[in-house]
Amino acid sequence: MEKEPRKLIFGATPALVFLLSLSLLCVCVDFFWGNTVPFDRWVQYFSTSEAGFRDGKAVNKTLEEQEFIRFHLARLVRGEDRRDLDATGFACDRAVHSVVCVSNKHVRIDTRNMTVYIPSDQAVEHETVVRPYARQEDELKVITPVRMLQYRNTTVPPECQYNHDVPAVVFSSGSTGNVFHEMNEIIIPLYITTKQFQSRVLFVLEDYKPSFMTKYGKVLSRLSAYEVMNPAANGSLHCFPGSVVGLKYHDNLALNSSDIPGGYSMSDFRHFLRQAYDLKFVHVSQITKPRLMLLSRTNTRRFLNEDEMIALMEGIGFQVLVIRRSKVISNLNKFSQLINSCSVLVGAHGAGLTNEIFLPSGAVMVQVELLGTEWASNTYYGDTARAMGVHYLRYKIEAEESSLVKLYGQNHSVVTDPGSVYRDGGYRAARTVYLDQQNVRVNLVRFRETLVEALSIVTDLDR
């Protein structure tokens, strides 16, 4: 007599195996990230997720949301800071560049003076003041400070006028107008800090600028399902189930998957931007005719023989698109799609090269590296290109191609030893020379070799 086939029933044994496997995974992940999370917290989180069941029914939505909020707020701190958050409901991650303060308790935010009231069981009230900007070392006084007050039961904070069921994320758009700084110190840190919340956060945007919202509104609307709050125009009291003040910064135009909160890379961010701006091309192979965008500067770091450069590019086989400062650049909704349609991006060292993040994978970014810009050129734009799957070609000019030779002389230390300018005068002195006074007359014979290499990369049938 044949035995009936064994049926897998979701009962105690499989469930136990699942939880034990999960616990091992969590231990490994937290060992790598430097966190300590009790196993019962992980079990509680996953048992109250949308996929969890209790007696065959989905758990209470309110409890699920509360645990979702607490779980993801906790990911923004590690080690001793995580233990402080668990013990007191408040902690700040103070890294090399950024300060991010987190509360998992119900807070009250007074937008009239940007004070966050956080209940505390501690014997002494404590106040923390932070300017919510990613690169704290810049010490930007234009950023409005936020005051976080941990108050005792004896203190009665102002009554709330509005109640929200998602955490508040407070940051500033005070330093804008330069695409490098906007992406590097606001947009990428905002993605790092809030992507994990799956749009279940409300942005409180200090130093609110309509131009910033016009330019990056699509990004913010994908990270938050709620209308952005302008404190200056609001002037009222709000209650939130938690708060984040400040943005997490990893590095120059960079995301480190092992850094807080963990798991996000430049590839993830690029995929996010493609969705936000509805970019058409994922890979350069989708572009039928090689198209080159030349970033033309009109003040400093100009190409003095730009017309000859364009003729060379077209003669090699590129369809050339020349971009000068205009409304096209400020309209990122359109400009991002324009860049995304190009196979190659060419420009002298400067903030405009930040737009390489919109190039399709497999495209080429050619940076004309001027005298005195070697470190910044590679760190800001070379490393970024490589991290996101874009080929990086460096055209390092020779001294004779720089206008500084005519200005200072062939044998001046400005030309022969740029490092001495940085050592003796500091960054500001070097910036005045190498960024504000320098233009370039490209050697077309040498530059042609770089362009031919770029063309061969984007037209290689085996890519």
Question: How many domains does one find in the chain?
Answer: 3
Cβ partners under 8 Å of residue 170, min gap 6: 109, 114, 116, 132, 146, 204, 206, 243, 244, 245, 246
The two structure tokens encoding residue 13: 């044994």
| 245 and 324, same domain (yes or no) | no
CATH number at residue 349: 3.40.50
| 181 and 297, same domain (yes or no) | no
Alpha carbons 16 and 43: distance in angstroms, whole number: 11
Alpha carbons 454 and 191: distance in angstroms, whole number: 31
* Identity of residue 185: E
Alpha carbons 313 and 331: distance in angstroms, whole number: 26
Q: Is residue 290 part of a domain?
A: yes
Q: Token match 């903030």: residue?
A: 351
| 229 and 371, same domain (yes or no) | no
| 420 and 292, same domain (yes or no) | yes
Compute the average pLDDT of residues 28-35: 43
Q: Is residue 4 part of a domain?
A: no
| 113 and 139, same domain (yes or no) | yes
| 359 and 262, same domain (yes or no) | no
Q: Specify the pLDDT at position 274.
A: 96
Q: Specify the pLDDT at position 14.
A: 46
Q: Specify the pLDDT at position 328.
A: 64
| pLDDT tens column, 243-300 | 999 999 999 999 999 999 999 999 999 999 999 999 999 999 999 999 999 999 989 9
The whole domain housing 379 covers: 284-458
**Does the CA dihedral 291-295-298-300 come out positive or negative?**
negative
Question: Which is more confidently placed, 62 or 144?
Answer: 144
| 241 and 294, same domain (yes or no) | no
DSSP H or E stretch at residue 364: strand 364-369
Q: Is residue 13 part of a domain?
A: no
Q: Is residue 361 part of a domain?
A: yes
Q: Specify the pLDDT at position 341.
A: 97
| pLDDT tens column, 92-151 | 999 989 999 999 999 999 999 999 999 998 878 899 999 999 988 887 888 999 999 999
Report yes or no: 123 and 94 within 8 Å, Cβ to Cβ: no
Residue of 176, 165, 241, 162 lying closest to 206 (CA atoms): 176
Q: What are phi and psi of 319, to 5 degrees?
A: -85, 120
In the structure, what pLDDT confidence band is assigned to residue 327 with cuts at 50, 70 and 90?
low
Q: Specify the pLDDT at position 142.
A: 87
Instruction: Round the average pLDDT of the chain to a whole number and report it.
Output: 87
| 291 and 360, same domain (yes or no) | yes
DSSP H or E stretch at residue 129: strand 126-130
CB atoms within 10 A of CB 96: 9
In the structure, what pLDDT confidence band is assigned to residue 60 with cuts at 50, 70 and 90?
low
